Amino acid sequence: MPQYATPAYWEQRVWLNYIATELHKNFISPFRHGNWLPNTTDSKTLVWIRVQPRLAFVEQQLAAGGPYLLGDTFSVADPYLFVMTNWMQRLGYSFDSLPQLAKFDSLMRQRPAVQRVFAQEGQPHSLVDGE
């Protein structure tokens, strides 16, 4: 059976599309030039208003079967979701109402490949010009 004929293959594609269209596009740093948001102190709040319900949906899915998006199976969609949880941390958003996402983020940070990337990439760039 070809790989694309499996339910897991299509479930990965569903998650990749959800992350791209519902999280990534709404989860852009409020301080990024050319962003759809004005560069104001309210920008972070505006981003959170847009992404929090979408993150809550992911939270429910992880609670139903986690620790990964496909249950116990690590897939290509998980690193993409990790980018979003990493952005949460960089922007100072709380995981208090999202304990499954907090566990997911912690689990991803323990992966040797993630640790190698962080070691190679170093500190992230500043979110504010001039810092």
**Would you kindly state where each structural domain of the chain is located, as residue ranges?**
3-32+39-121
Cα 9 to Cα 86: distance, rounded to the nearest angstrom = 25
pLDDT of residue 128 exceeding 80: no
Buried/exposed 87-100: b ≥16 CB within 10 Å, e otherwise: bbeebebebeebeb
Chain CA centroid to CA 1, Å: 32
Q: Which residues have CB under 8 Å from 2's CB, separation 6+?
A: none
Of 102 and 88, the structure prediction assigns the larger pLDDT to: 102
pLDDT tens digit sequence for 100-125: 999 999 999 999 999 999 899 877 76
- CATH 3.30.565.10 assigned to 3-32+39-121: no
Closest residue by Cα to residue 101 from 119, 117, 116, 88 = 88
pLDDT tens digit sequence for 54-75: 999 999 999 999 899 999 999 9
Q: Is the model's pTM score more than 0.95?
A: no
